[in-house]
Amino acid sequence: MNRWYLRDRFTRYSLIVIGVVVILSLILGFLFDWRGFLEGVLASIAFSGITIVIGLFFVDRLIEHRQEQQWARVRLLTYRGLAAYLCDIVTQAFIVYALDNAFEALGQMMEGRDYPSEEALPGFVHLAKALRKLEAQRDIHKPSLSDRAEQFYETVKWELEQVQTILTPRLLQSATDQKLIVALMEFDHANRALYSAIMAHKQVVRQSAFSYVTDLVVAAEHLYRELLPHWLEAEQQLATIPTQEA
- Highest mean pLDDT among 42-56, 58-72, 153-167, 174-188 belongs to 153-167
pLDDT of residue 3: 53
What value does the mean pLDDT of the chain take? 78
pTM value? 0.69
pLDDT at 210: 87
Q: Among 16-25, 70-79, 159-168, whose mean pLDDT is lowest?
A: 16-25
Number of H helices, E strands in the chain: 9, 0
Count CA within 13 A, CB hemisphere, residue 211: 6
pLDDT beyond 50 at 244: no
The arithmetic mean of pLDDT across residues 148-165, rounded, is 92
Q: What is the pLDDT of residues 196-205, one digit of tens each?
A: 988 887 776 6
Give CB contacts under 8 A, 24+ apart, made by 156-162. Answer: 156/88, 156/89, 156/92, 159/85, 159/88, 159/89, 160/89, 160/191, 162/81, 162/85
- Cβ atoms of 143 and 210 within 8 Å: the answer is no
Q: Alpha-carbon distance 121 to 95, whole Å? A: 19
DSSP state for residue 139 in the 8-state scheme = G
Sorting pLDDT into bands at 50, 70 and 90, what band is 183?
very high
Among 84-98, 103-117, 222-236, the minimum mean pLDDT is found in 103-117
CA-nearest of 246, 192, 184 to 219 is 184
Residue 39, pLDDT > 90, answer no
User: How buried is 70 (Cβ within 10 angstroms: 0-12 exposed, 13-18 middle, 19+ buried)?
Assistant: exposed
Confidence bin at 99 (pLDDT 50/70/90): confident
